[in-house]
Chain A
Amino acid sequence: MDEPSQLRPATEWELQRLLTEATKTDMPIEIVGAGSKRNIGRPTNSSALLTTSALSGIRLYEPTELVMSARSGTSLARIEADLASQGQTLAFEPVDLAPVIGAEAGRATIGSVFATNISGSRRMMTGAARDHLLGVSAVSGQGTPFRSGGRVMKNVTGLDLARTIAGSWGTLAVMTEVTFKVMPKPEETATLIFLGLEDGIAIEALTAATTTPFEVSGAVHLQEALAARLWHEGLKAEKRSVTAIRIENFAASVAYRTDRLKDELKPFGDIYVLGNDSALAFWDELRQLSILQGTTAPLWRISTAPKAGPKVVAAISTFMTCHAWYDWAGGLVWAEVLPTSDAGAADIRRVIATHGGHATLIRAEPGVRSSIDVFQPLEPGLKKITTRLKTVFDPARILNRGRMHADL
């Protein structure tokens, strides 16, 4: 495929002009930040590529109000460095999808994080990217600039268009600026580890942990095949499944809560505790999706009820070889399967229909991604609303045409 011409607006006005013109001439445009997630979703059939990379810079940072505004093309790395300098962080710890699809790590823009609503392990406790989004400035497909929300924590003035466009993968509007809530970085981190648990028992242990008052901020189970890919030498060397429970807080609280959890979870087996540095390294590599890298096997991201996680994986495993990493105490399943013509979509979607939830194909060859539904196909009622919203924001369907759904 030839690289289409590249558009790089540096001002909101320029972006407005480009989109107005594109709508007029029916010119479909692929919207990207740094382009690190371009190979996720259905391939778009666009005649131009528009990047927000020139819309860069932090516009406001008030650590004592827990708020930051940045232009959408600002790199996530730059934002996290600024936050770290004040002892703060993004509570939803977005994972880096780039390295699992063969793109360069560490280049994602803040706009792309909200456009794809991508969150990490802490999402279970603190909410997703969209939960931290306070406001946006954006330009709709027909070139109308608009703001929604603002810089304050509570705001119910008018319809919540910020959340409406979060997670829309650039198909409704192009964000120019995002304002979001930030949080203090925890003083201390510890992690409880079980080794060699089978999936069902592991999820029971994680459920037991997340239903205590101890604010577990990470609850994962890595099947043996994936745990073997860990960078963490000590855990990798065990050659067993790894079940991990994270506690973050002030040091005294971490010590107290770790002890209480060890007590409560004793029935599930021997517990090892990773201290601060080791625990940070473990969770940091999960944020980089370390254990899903280095292969081109199809990768699914499945959201379901936590207790349904092992049932979903067991059901998928009756149809195909499947390696699973459970996050969110079982509610998020990363499933790596063997390559087939549909990446297992038909069987996986049937399993989801039984157990509830939704599945997105994160990694597959372009030919597969253009021939199946990469995102969960929508029920007719939802599809109708989705189509109407698309028509309001982008009537000519120029923005990332076909990326989420073939006909939108």
Chain B
Amino acid sequence: MIAMPKPDKSILRRRDAIVRELARLVGAEQVISDEDGRRAFETDGLSAYRCMPLAVVLARSTEDVRKVLSYAHANGIKVVARGAGTSLSGGALPTEDAIVLGLSRMNRVLAVDYENRTARVEVGITNLGISAAVAPKGFFYAPDPSSQLACSLGGNIAFNSGGAHCLKYGVTTNNVLGLKIVMVDGEVIEIGGDYLDQPGYDLLGLLVGSEGQLGVVTEATVRILRQAEGARPLLLGFDSSEAAGRAVSAIIAAGVIPVAIEFMDKPAIEVCEAFAKAGYPLDVEALLIVEVEGSEEEISDLLGRIVEVVTPHGPRVVRMSESAEQSAAIWKGRKSAFGAIGRIADYLCMDGTIPLGRMPEVLVRISEICAGYGLRVANIFHAGDGNLHPLILFNANDPDEMVKAEKCGADILKLCVEVGGCLTGEHGVGVEKRDLMPVQFTDAELALQMSIKSALDPQWLLNPAKVFPLGGAPSADAA
């Protein structure tokens, strides 16, 4: 298990006074201090880790956030901002001495400007909530993490979330134009706006993906795009992952950039098919879901090109979706993969990214690593952009297996770095990969990143014990 810092006992002792003060600042109905109420906030999508927070504040406005941060800053109290709590890396895991600042009630659409192709929203809105708000006029918000029904934009901003369709449309950082952010001392700052390219340094670039380490974002201006006329997925089944990998290369070499290219190996196919009845072929070792967009004629043209260039790589199955229902089922299978696998076993979901050319070799080595620990693995992969999601299956009721699964996951991530990739493509470092950061970065690089943290959050009060090794925090050994 990954170590969490010892709580600051002086804060714990002041708990009742802190709760009273929070209630005075934002109103008692927005503060949760009872044990049952707080329990709902003790974990996130990385549910093996749990910790009851000091108190929970459910903010309704930037002003609430400002008040809580000003107070916490003045009193040296840590704060964990939280959206929907779907982080897979423990990004919203509280500590015992921290206030959880819940933003999910801040979920309004503030303005939609179709002509300028932007939407201004509060960040507690769900990812899908943005697209739903603009869909009647034929627009959408592009990044589409699998958890988009539940996850909040604030979390997407914190983790620079991607999704299956980011091959064409980019990830969160490519789709955010402006942010309202509350700094740790309560100062409210506007960055960017409804225009392209902010003035001065690229603070949007720094803040998106900073995992709540530098400030609390409360509002955002995002790009909205007009929906394509249509979209259709194609299923391609192969006898080996090598052949599937070569097919992906061939598609891109032909100058075709599909909106998505998803890969599943045999264990993943079987589980997802049992769950979603998507019509996935069961007699193949590797499956690609390739989606293209456009008018009917354009889709036929693009799918024709794709079939032509992958044919030399020997696909055993080539199946185009024939209806909207079939397309929906194909995507339902993929997007519910984590849930489907969760029905057959507990799992740890890894999130490394690798250069596509190394995929076959990496998949073989992942199998070997997992076999070495006596664990099974199912692989799901955003093949277009090299983002790998091996799901390591284990039994959470067996403490030994939990330890084995974590070690196995760490070995897989080290492999990703070794072949030229990285520890995390979209789930973030959080608690989960915090101690692996030295695998990817030198001490000097980590020190530079931590000095930015210190410059914007000198007491390290924001989202403690995430991203950086514990020794980096100024008061890590206190208490």
Asked if residues B197 and A65 are in contact (CB atoms below 8 Å), the reply is no
CB-defined contacts of A65 to chain B, threshold 8 Å: 249, 252, 355-357, 386
B297, A252: Cβ atoms under 8 Å?
yes
Q: A152 near B467 (CB under 8 angstroms)? A: no
Question: In chain B, what residue has the closest Cβ to A67?
Answer: B355
Q: Which residues of A contact B455 (CB under 8 A)?
A: 388-389, 391-392
> Is A159 among interface residues, defined by CB-CB distance under 8 A?
yes
B6 within 8 A of A: no
Stretch at the interface among B21-29, B221-229, B282-290, B332-340: B221-229
Which of B159, B171, B189, B445 is A146 in contact with, Cβ under 8 Å?
A: B445
- B201–A168 touching, CB < 8 Å: yes
B114 CB-CB contact with A under 8 Å: yes
A303-B195, A385-B189 given; A158·B257 CB < 8 A: no
Quote the shortest CB–CB distance from B449 to chain A (angstroms).
5
**From A62, A213, A307, contact of B229 by CB (8 A):** A213
- Tell me which of A5-13, A46-54, A121-129 binds B: A121-129
Contact A164 B209 (CB under 8 A): no
Query: Is B387's CB within 8 Å of the partner chain A?
Result: yes
Q: Assess whether A158 is in contact with B467, with CB atoms less than 8 Å apart.
A: yes
Interface residues on A, range: 35 or more
Is the Cβ of B199 less than 8 Å from the Cβ of A358?
A: yes
Residues of B close to A184: CB separation below 8 A: 252, 255-257
Q: Number of residues in B with C-beta < 8 Å to the partner? A: 95
Do B444 and A145 touch across chains, with their CB atoms under 8 A apart? yes
Given contacts A185-B255, A356-B195, A382-B191, contact A155 B425 (CB under 8 A): yes
Query: Which chain B residue lies CB-closest to A378?
Result: B200
CB nearest to B177 among chain A residues: A305
- Whether A379 is near chain B, meaning CB under 8 Å from some CB there, is yes
Q: Residues of B contacting A253 with CB < 8 Å? A: 294, 298, 301
Contact A160 B115 (CB under 8 A): no
Given contacts A379-B190, A382-B191, contact A160 B210 (CB under 8 A): yes
- B residues near A156, Cβ cutoff 8 Å: 159-160, 209, 424-429
With A64-B253, A160-B209, A164-B206 in contact, do A153 and B201 touch (Cβ < 8 Å)? no
Q: Which residue of B lies closest to A126 (CB)?
A: B170
User: Which listed segment binds A: B31-39, B41-49, B267-275, B415-423?
Assistant: B415-423
For residue B213, which residues in chain A have a CB less than 8 angstroms away from its CB? Answer: 159
Q: Does A332 contact B (CB under 8 A)?
A: yes
**Given the known A-B contacts A168-B201, A357-B193, are A158 and B452 also in contact in the complex, defined by CB atoms under 8 Å?**
no
In the complex, the answer to whether B297 meets A256 with C-beta atoms within 8 Å is: yes
**Do A152 and B354 contact each other (CB < 8 Å), given the known contacts A376-B199, A385-B189, A389-B201?**
yes
B195 touches A304 (CB 8 A): yes
Q: Are A164 and B385 in contact (CB under 8 A)?
A: no
What string of 1s and 0s marks CB contacts (under 8 Å) between B111-126 and chain A? 0011111100000000
List residues of chain B with CB within 8 A of the CB of A95.
Answer: none
Q: Which of A140, A152, A331, A375 contacts B355 (CB 8 A)?
A: A152
Report yes or no: B160 in contact with A160, Cβ–Cβ below 8 A: yes
Asked if B199 and A157 make an inter-chain contact with CB atoms under 8 angstroms apart, the answer reads no
In the complex formed, the residue of A with least CB distance to B387 is: A154
B203 at the interface (CB under 8 A from A): yes
A117 at the interface (CB under 8 A from B): yes
Across the interface, do A87 and B116 meet the contact criterion of CB distance under 8 Å? no
Q: A152-B421, A375-B200 are known contacts; what are 11 more A-B pairs with Cβ within 8 Å? A: A63-B252, A65-B356, A154-B162, A154-B386, A154-B425, A158-B440, A159-B210, A184-B257, A306-B115, A381-B189, A384-B187
Chain A to chain B contacts (Cβ below 8 Å), 15 pairs: A62-B357, A117-B202, A151-B355, A153-B166, A158-B429, A158-B440, A158-B445, A159-B449, A161-B452, A167-B197, A172-B201, A252-B297, A357-B195, A378-B199, A378-B200
Which positions in A face B, CB cutoff 8 Å?
62-67, 87, 117, 119, 123-124, 127-128, 130-131, 140, 144-148, 150-164, 166-168, 172, 183-185, 187, 207, 210-213, 250, 252-253, 256, 303-308, 328, 331-332, 356-358, 360, 375-376, 378-379, 381-382, 384-386, 388-389, 391-393, 404
